[in-house]
Structure 1
């Protein structure tokens, strides 16, 4: 919410400066994001009147003017603005004036004609980007008055960031109420103005969707003059609130919305066919909005329609064909209360976001509609004239909000805030906030005003008392508690240990959204159902992730587009698997995932350039597994996953149970994610890694170890891991190590076969092994390999 400080001080004017005011509202929960001057720094600019405007004798695009600036004699100024004319009131930079960016005005000659000043555009005074011509001031602007003083330009625009529950502060009235409460000041009431009702014309209104629209008001105003200009005071207030002036009718509706917080809309009454109907749209109905976009409506959308079809998206945007134009003579002014849930998400559904939808989604005062309609009607008559008809009111009081009493307990308040409060002090704060309060012993029963629709439970009142009392007034006291050490099994690894392992292996930790693009996710997990979000923040963030891969692949793509060839990232977080048996119908599993792409190491003069491969990422996964001390329980089994390359993927099992995947991304997905180079990924359940074993202390053997190498010829289909398992199974206690150090195919090895070289490390704790013992152990292993894999020793 952006607003003018001067406008706020018309309502309530505490005796504090701008900095103190911003600090005060920030500490009250209305965080000030930005404070900026409403105009550039300039001096020496006054209000002037063009007395004469003649064509320059030597330049087609220049005019020679005589301008009254309140001095004893007019000054001659040469001007090139196309809208310069006799009788115009203008902003004049006199000789010696200093404009924004330290631009100084001096006497000059333009094509031989003296020029003693400059007629200014809004851009030259840093008021706006408009430089089409000089500023045109009202006819009653006082000649000779300092221009900054005339428009009160020693003002600031304050932009506050509101939490969604404080929609009551999306207006000057709401912010003034807050400032008044904080400073114990009364707020000046808005002057509605008298509406001259001199027409009997009405428009029939029917509300079919009464749950979504419990109250609808409208009024016909005839013979409005849209050639009239919006008053400069209104234009300025709108500009300082970040809204551009369009025409008097739109400006009035925007002004009242900013002033009171009630969105309004005006239709061209002559373009409405028959009656007004407030109803839900029919599937497939079409509406062309004011920005000339045609939208296809869904049946969950509330619309304003006439007898022929929709003419506006209720509470969001008007329709083009019923919109007010310069040719309009009769308008229908609408003021309604729409239930927040009827508007929430609908603007995003159609790719829109308007000031009206922003307010309706969060809630508006349900008693404000008639007041806002009367205020807008009075302003329209004041600016554009016209004859106002009677107000048409259609409402269902049973469907309107019904504030419920809220009970606040004294003991609960002091316990939550950690501060003692006097009974009278609490009653006074709640009353200042506009609540109807009854105090009984140690409790208060309060009913919130219609504009504070966010107050519903006791905790809301506790927050309000603490907020108005002042968070910075609450003493800083450390809590006193008797703490017990949590019982943490020694065998359980902390997640930080797994993170450290990957960081030490040159990974960078990433944190990505749990919300993902359903199109991308469906290609990663085509056979798995995902959880859709009912109100997503964007269409490409509308599903909960089924794995962490989606975010990591987007991260890699983002970095590759920024010339990062070598990327190693990992993430820890939850995945969300729909499952009816779960309490929330979704199973949330903590996962750890990683992805790598590019060279194995940064480019160096003494290093080999090699791209990462499957075994690099498998080694990283094995490092994580090794931390648990349960390597023997894990195995990698060749398997296929839709997200992974069929020939370079493996399922990870622990004690026969699936716990993760590792492999190269499927080639078809590289285009989906705009990837360059082969990406390798892994993902494991955190629970499979953090459940480890306590290391057991054993004496170190004092006797030497012996190594024996075996070169075994087996079929190509035999996995080396299966061979190693067989060796470990059939080796005796003296077998303390097995290592694969060579795989060979070629000359000397039959076709369809491969040679696998294993080194065996043998050692005993009680004596030095002699040759006969070593030979016996090796022979047993060779025999087992022969029996199970038809293996033979290579010649």
Structure 2
């Protein structure tokens, strides 16, 4: 944001120390990017009035002038400019003046006649002007006044880098408040603005259909204005030095009030919206030709201002108006708009339609919801002062419940000291908050703070503490070693476990990815797991929600690699997910993905596609050190394949899921083959007790196989789970090694073969293991209607 330093100074009675102010602002987070004088150094140039102008007797292109500079006698000056004439007021460099570039003015004889000075163009004094020739000054310019003072050239243009959370500083008033808080220099008392909203209109109608998006709207009719006049010099100077191009008095006033208050205004030609306006969301197929000449094909999430007469859009609310409804030099009837549009409504709309506007830049960061009346009243007064005319009727809508509520933020001096790292005197803390516009109540060690309406960024106690530190000065906080709340040993233990998980996955050929915690909402919906979606207030490039699981990042990386010809892909990520805004709602998860061929082309291997069991083997390997791992059929999320999904159980407790993605996602993701994925909650794993270690038996293992004929509807996982629940003391491992259907089996039958491994601290015989096998057989026969083959 660019500002005129002198205009900022006008908010203060005492002179500001510019160097100190700019340093304090930079240190407080409002970085100064540039500080440049508006004009180069020069001296000895005053306002002069040409009182006599005749042709030079010996030169056709020169004029012999007498110039009044408020001295005893007019100066005789020879001038070659074509626009010199009697009565004009121009910059006059007297003898002894020094122009930019160290060019000194002396008495000089020109064609036999001495010239005692020089009349200057705008270029010669570093002042921009569209006029070819002398810089013509206003007829009211005081003769003899130093031109630097008259043109306000002892000024500088300061450019600030305003962060997205400080939309309140996108105005002169906002910056002045910040300067006052940082320097303790008092602001001038605010001048009361005369209320122009005296007569509610009976002819102009206002309907606000989108009251959540536009909770406050006020419009004011102004009649018989003359927009063909020129804006006054002071107004043009402020606009130009603030980086805004002057256009016409009506638009210039609206832009000036925006710069002053941070409240964007819009000017409609009243004859184009004579029946009033409606505020509503866009409808399918609507288009709007904007002021810049481009045509916007409107999306349904776009807020519009619509002409009541024909229900046609006349503006994208808070962004840009239409070419047809805007004011022109011929405009005599005006409808002035001052509204509060919520930041979420305006956010990203300018970029969406390929336009840029100062209004959108402010609305999407948040404007003061209590400034609309002051802004429109001041604009109306300035318009009447500059363009003439009279104030007419107004239209108004106000939905109080949606405007910013004055919520209280409670904290204590002890909390402030703990977070800052040192004690700040209590009276200093309360003064800082008061200077920032907060209402502060103190009760012993406790504070209650109500943030001002223009500070959208002050929502929680940490925001308040940050403001205290920022104004107090980071450089005044002593450097100290941080106090760790946890022992280093516990941190190392967790870190080592996570490293081991990564090492196991790397051993299986997995590559680690690190993806954004922000994702697009469409991916959040695709991989919804029923958890709360955390939305961002200021999203970047459409990444508007926080991830509730890690699958979106894995799948996007998969798409990227598949599009580049990769056929066998194994990825994993270890990172936090977000189910809420508290630390407890941000657990650490581990997720993995397998896709494509099980192995690359090799003469000794038969190529095959990765399947469910490949990934489940990896998962069981990485979880085995935490306890007993089981898989239980489950497909209760929309992204899970109905027949290739399972819940992951650790010691009987669910810790995650494993599945192939649902076939319905194939087109959405652009994948012919869908990957297998898993995701587990690392926090739950860390809470699991470590497994107890036993000595390895010196005696031989015994292996036995049982094959059962079962109905195809019977889940093998359920059988394995029940076998585990038998807790057979000498059974150390069991796995399915064959599933068969067809042949002599019935159409609805399948054969399932299970291998059992027994071991003990002695040599086992058939008599030792047969009772266990008999228990297994009876369990399968009685509970699952199976038959031993």
Q: After superposition, what is the alpha-carbon deviation per residue over 1:246-288, rounded to whole angstroms, capped at 9, x for unaligned?
A: 55533432233123323222111222324x4677789999784
> 2:71 maps to what in 1?
none
> 1:57 maps to what in 2?
none
Closer, same or farther: CA 461–732 of 1 in aligned 2, 3 Å: closer
* Residue correspondence of structure 1 range 363-382 to structure 2 within 5 A: 363-364=367-368, 366=370, 369-370=373-374, 373-374=377-378, 378=382, 382=386
> 1:624 maps to what in 2?
622
> 1:107 maps to what in 2?
none
Equivalent residue in structure 2 for 1:570, among 544, 569, 573: 573
CA contact under 8 A between 2:550 and 2:573: conserved in structure 1?
no
> 2:345 maps to what in 1?
345
> 2:178 maps to what in 1?
178
Closer, same or farther: CA 138–436 of 1 in aligned 2, 3 Å: farther
What's the RMSD between the two structures over aligned residues? 6.8
Could you tell me which runs of 5 or more consecutive residues in structure 1 were left unpaired when the two chains were aligned. 45-65, 76-88, 90-96, 99-118, 128-133, 578-582
Q: Return the alpha-carbon distance in structure 2 between the equivalents of residues 735 and 531 of structure 1.
A: 45
* Residue correspondence of structure 1 range 26-175 to structure 2 within 5 A: 26-28=26-28, 30-32=29-31, 35=33, 136-137=130-131, 141=135, 155-163=157-165, 166-175=166-175
> 1:265 maps to what in 2?
266
Closer, same or farther: CA 392–367 of 1 in aligned 2, 3 Å: farther
Partner-residue secondary structure (3-state), 1:556: helix
Q: After superposition, what is the alpha-carbon deviation per residue over 1:720-742, rounded to whole angstroms, capped at 9, x for unaligned?
A: 97998899999986665567789
CA contact under 8 A between 1:281 and 1:297: conserved in structure 2?
yes
Q: Return the alpha-carbon distance in structure 1 between the equivalents of residues 217 and 635 of structure 2.
A: 62
> 1:111 maps to what in 2?
none
> 2:668 maps to what in 1?
672
> 1:25 maps to what in 2?
25
Closer, same or farther: CA 67–208 of 1 in aligned 2, 3 Å: farther
> 1:594 maps to what in 2?
592
Q: After superposition, what is the alpha-carbon deviation per residue over 1:113-135, rounded to whole angstroms, capped at 9, x for unaligned?
A: xxxxxx999xxx9x9xxxxxx98
Could you tell me which runs of 5 or more consecutive residues in structure 2 were left unpaired when the two chains were aligned. 43-60, 64-76, 82-89, 91-99, 102-120, 138-146, 781-785
Q: Return the alpha-carbon distance in structure 2 between the equivalents of residues 407 and 553 of structure 1.
A: 41
* Residue correspondence of structure 1 range 206-217 to structure 2 within 5 A: 216=218
CA contact under 8 A between 1:713 and 1:749: conserved in structure 2?
no
Partner-residue secondary structure (3-state), 1:596: strand
Partner-residue secondary structure (3-state), 1:329: coil
Deviation at 1:619, TM superposition (A): 1.9
Q: Return the alpha-carbon distance in structure 1 between the equivalents of residues 414 and 760 of structure 2.
A: 71
> 1:517 maps to what in 2?
521
* Residue correspondence of structure 1 range 619-698 to structure 2 within 5 A: 619-631=617-629, 634-635=630-631, 637=633, 643-644=639-640, 648-653=644-649, 660-675=656-671, 678-686=674-682, 689-690=685-686, 692-698=688-694
CA contact under 8 A between 1:600 and 1:612: conserved in structure 2?
yes
Closer, same or farther: CA 304–780 of 1 in aligned 2, 3 Å: closer
Closer, same or farther: CA 39–638 of 1 in aligned 2, 3 Å: same
Closer, same or farther: CA 240–625 of 1 in aligned 2, 3 Å: farther
Q: After superposition, what is the alpha-carbon deviation per residue over 1:357-396, rounded to whole angstroms, capped at 9, x for unaligned?
A: 55456232735744664457537865xxx32213656679
Question: How many positions carry a matched residue from both structures?
Answer: 679
Closer, same or farther: CA 738–574 of 1 in aligned 2, 3 Å: same
Q: Return the alpha-carbon distance in structure 1 between the equivalents of residues 449 and 268 of structure 2.
A: 40
CA contact under 8 A between 1:599 and 1:611: conserved in structure 2?
yes
CA contact under 8 A between 2:666 and 2:672: conserved in structure 1?
yes
Q: Return the alpha-carbon distance in structure 2 between the equivalents of residues 576 and 457 of structure 1.
A: 19
Closer, same or farther: CA 9–552 of 1 in aligned 2, 3 Å: farther
Closer, same or farther: CA 167–687 of 1 in aligned 2, 3 Å: closer
CA contact under 8 A between 1:287 and 1:310: conserved in structure 2?
no
Closer, same or farther: CA 373–555 of 1 in aligned 2, 3 Å: farther
Equivalent residue in structure 1 for 2:475, among 472, 475, 482: 472
Deviation at 1:465, TM superposition (A): 5.2
Q: Return the alpha-carbon distance in structure 1 between the equivalents of residues 273 and 305 of structure 2.
A: 14
Closer, same or farther: CA 443–472 of 1 in aligned 2, 3 Å: same
Deviation at 1:175, TM superposition (A): 0.8
CA contact under 8 A between 2:659 and 2:678: conserved in structure 1?
yes
Q: Return the alpha-carbon distance in structure 2 between the equivalents of residues 67 and 203 of structure 1.
A: 64
> 1:61 maps to what in 2?
none
Closer, same or farther: CA 207–314 of 1 in aligned 2, 3 Å: farther
Deviation at 1:502, TM superposition (A): 3.8
Q: Does 1:224 align with 2:220?
A: no
CA contact under 8 A between 1:334 and 1:373: conserved in structure 2?
no
Partner-residue secondary structure (3-state), 1:356: helix
CA contact under 8 A between 2:38 and 2:153: conserved in structure 1?
no
Partner-residue secondary structure (3-state), 2:679: strand
> 1:116 maps to what in 2?
none
Q: Return the alpha-carbon distance in structure 2 between the equivalents of residues 267 and 547 of structure 1.
A: 48
Closer, same or farther: CA 421–603 of 1 in aligned 2, 3 Å: farther
CA contact under 8 A between 2:702 and 2:759: conserved in structure 1?
no
CA contact under 8 A between 1:266 and 1:333: conserved in structure 2?
yes
Q: After superposition, what is the alpha-carbon deviation per residue over 1:475-522, rounded to whole angstroms, capped at 9, x for unaligned?
A: 44668899899999x99997776566445653414444476534x566
Closer, same or farther: CA 285–332 of 1 in aligned 2, 3 Å: farther
> 2:110 maps to what in 1?
none
Closer, same or farther: CA 218–297 of 1 in aligned 2, 3 Å: farther
Q: Return the alpha-carbon distance in structure 2 between the equivalents of residues 735 and 507 of structure 1.
A: 36
Partner-residue secondary structure (3-state), 1:254: helix
Closer, same or farther: CA 493–247 of 1 in aligned 2, 3 Å: same
Deviation at 1:553, TM superposition (A): 1.5
* Residue correspondence of structure 1 range 271-350 to structure 2 within 5 A: 271-274=272-275, 276=276, 288=288, 290=290, 292-293=295-296, 295=298, 303=305, 306=308, 309=311, 316-317=318-319, 319-320=321-322, 323-326=325-328, 328-334=330-336, 336=338, 338=340, 344-345=344-345
Deviation at 1:746, TM superposition (A): 13
Q: Return the alpha-carbon distance in structure 1 between the equivalents of residues 721 and 295 of structure 2.
A: 71
Q: Does 1:557 align with 2:559?
A: yes
Deviation at 1:595, TM superposition (A): 1.4
Q: After superposition, what is the alpha-carbon deviation per residue over 1:24-68, rounded to whole angstroms, capped at 9, x for unaligned?
A: 22433x443x72588999999xxxxxxxxxxxxxxxxxxxxx999
> 1:51 maps to what in 2?
none
Higher alpha-carbon deviation: 259-268 or 687-696: 687-696
Partner-residue secondary structure (3-state), 1:618: helix
Deviation at 1:626, TM superposition (A): 0.5
> 2:118 maps to what in 1?
none
Q: Return the alpha-carbon distance in structure 2 between the equivalents of residues 217 and 465 of structure 1.
A: 39
Q: Return the alpha-carbon distance in structure 2 between the equivalents of residues 780 and 175 of structure 1.
A: 86
Q: Return the alpha-carbon distance in structure 1 between the equivalents of residues 723 and 339 of structure 2.
A: 79
TM-score (norm 2): 0.62
Q: After superposition, what is the alpha-carbon deviation per residue over 1:645-667, rounded to whole angstroms, capped at 9, x for unaligned?
A: 56654454557776544233344
Q: Return the alpha-carbon distance in structure 2 between the equivalents of residues 616 and 715 of structure 1.
A: 24
Deviation at 1:345, TM superposition (A): 2.3
> 2:254 maps to what in 1?
253
Q: Return the alpha-carbon distance in structure 2 between the equivalents of residues 688 and 438 of structure 1.
A: 43
CA contact under 8 A between 2:263 and 2:367: conserved in structure 1?
no
Q: After superposition, what is the alpha-carbon deviation per residue over 1:56-111, rounded to whole angstroms, capped at 9, x for unaligned?
A: xxxxxxxxxx999xx99989xxxxxxxxxxxxx9xxxxxxx99xxxxxxxxxxxxx
CA contact under 8 A between 2:282 and 2:298: conserved in structure 1?
no
Q: Return the alpha-carbon distance in structure 2 between the equivalents of residues 151 and 67 of structure 1.
A: 29
